Amino acid sequence: MLAEVKKLPDEPIVLVTLPKGYDLKANLSQSIPGYLRLLETFDTPVFWIVDASAVDMKVDELMIGATLVARGEHPLYHHPKIRQVIYVTSSELMKAAAAGMQDEVFGQVNIKLFDNVQDALSYARSSR
């Protein structure tokens, strides 16, 4: 299953919803080029909200995901059109992985964590 990606109308917010059963290993590397193309269409930087509340990932998946989005030749989370990355999750493991992306190894990703989408959206809207 692929993630649902939606740019909110008239707001600098992109909401990426990972469905239950999302297979990070199979889908993320194939999705990143499309995400990068999407970012290039925006005039201003956006808040990139990832709703991962429905997924349960293992440590190896989180390490692969962090490497794909924060390192390499074209790291998604360091794209100049991403103002801030916001994760929605209740998973302590995913929260630890997100906090780890703030380390120098991952280029100190500007990331914030919330327990629900509404709080994430409220934060993004108040930070514009």
Q: Is 107 exposed, middle or buried (0-12, 13-18, 19+ CB in 10 A)?
A: middle
The residue with tokens 């989370």 is: 77
Q: Would you say residue 1 has pLDDT above 90? A: no
Give residue 54's domain range.
4-126
Indicate the pTM of the whole model. Answer: 0.95
Looking at residue 128, its pLDDT comes to 78
Domain count of the fold of the chain: 1
Summarised one tens digit per residue, pLDDT across range 69-116 is 999 888 999 999 999 999 999 999 999 999 999 999 999 999 999 999
pLDDT tens across 6-65, in order?
Answer: 999 999 999 999 999 999 989 999 999 999 999 999 999 999 999 999 999 999 999 999
Q: What is the CATH number of the domain that holds 103?
A: 3.30.750
